[in-house]
Structure 1
Amino acid sequence: MSPAPLLIVTAVVEVGAGAGFLLAPGAVFDLLLGEGHPAPDATFVGRVAGAALLALGVAGGLGRNDNSSPAQRGLLTGLLVYNGAVGALLVYAALGLNKAGVALWPAVALHAVLAAGCAAGLRSEPLSPVRESRS
């Protein structure tokens, strides 16, 4: 199965989240952590995270049709690490820091599904041979 649908979903989700963090970080913090008025430094870090999420979304969208290439496998591996880490951090926010907004557990579930999709894509896609370019 092609990872293209997973990468399209990733692109849409991450571009949307990135735009949210860039444009209205307080609203995103409220939805995820129940913190409606984050400190200015947290707002800044949220915007930096938004820029990173935009980059992930763009990479996912552009890499969707590069089937079985080393670059696509690298993208899927990076997204697997990202989704696993973010899911774990959100669980920690809820259980360890007692922070939870209305979107926290849905976000945990979404990251778990995306991580599982990345893992499945890595297992099912054989690596195609790298073509040497001649200059």
Structure 2
Amino acid sequence: MAANARLLFSVTGVVEAATGLALLIAPALLVQVLLGAAPDTPAGMTAARVAGAAVLSLAVACWLARDDLAGKAAKGLVTAMLFYNFAVVAILILGWIRHGIAGIAFWPVVAAHIALGVWCAACGLASSRIADR
């Protein structure tokens, strides 16, 4: 993994930090923009804030890993972020298909997670090719 992974971790760190903070501070607004409906129960607000803390944790891990790309932890993080990005896409698309949920930011968020997932896959493949040499 090289500069491409460093940039991936930097971009992911910033984007997911913003998302995580928004979920912690204003979960109803972010969920409304993404899904077209606010989490209008205390349980929904709590779940959104827990998700915010989790996303913020991923952001911190990515940000800290951007300067340590040679280790197994960085490779594991790329794999974890690959899973995360494609899981988010699958969950959102399933919600759209089954329940018709989609806010104004829905498709841009889906596209961003697809792009980040492909970027993770490319970094993982590049890392594997380097290790095979």
TM normalised by structure 1 equals: 0.90
Deviations 1:110-129 (A, max 9, x none): 0000000110000002349x
Which one has the largest radius of gyration?
1
Point out where structure 1 has 5 or more consecutive residues left out of the alignment: 129-135
Conservation of the 8 A alpha-carbon contact between 1:68 and 1:127: no
For the aligned residues, what is the CA RMSD?
Answer: 1.4
Residue ranges of structure 2 left out of the alignment (5+ in a row): none
User: Runs ≥4 in structure 1, deviation > 4 angstroms?
Assistant: none
Q: What amino acid is aligned across from residue 10 of structure 2 in structure 1?
A: I
Q: Aligned runs of 1:32-71 on 2, under 5 Å?
A: 32-36=34-38, 38-71=40-73
Aligned in 2, Cα 1:69/1:37: closer, same or farther, shift over 3 Å? closer
Deviations 1:95-121 (A, max 9, x none): 111111000110000000000011000
What per-residue deviation string (whole Å, max 9, x for no partner) do you get for residues 11-45 of structure 1?
Answer: 01110000010001100110111113522101100
User: Structure 2: how far apart are the matches of 1:51 and 1:37?
Assistant: 16
For residues 118 and 92 of structure 2, the distance between their equivalents in structure 1, rounded to whole angstroms, comes to 17
Q: Which moved more, 1:1-10 or 1:108-117?
A: 1-10
More helix by share: 2
**Residue of structure 2 in register with 1:98 after alignment:** 100
Aligned mates of 1:75, 1:63 — CA distance in 2: 8
Cα deviation, 1:52-71, whole Å, max 9, x if unaligned, reads 01100000000012123101
Counterparts in 2 of 1:21 and 1:78: CA distance versus 1, 3 Å: same
TM-score (norm 2): 0.91
Match of 1:27 among 29, 46, 66: 29
Aligned twin of 1:110:
112
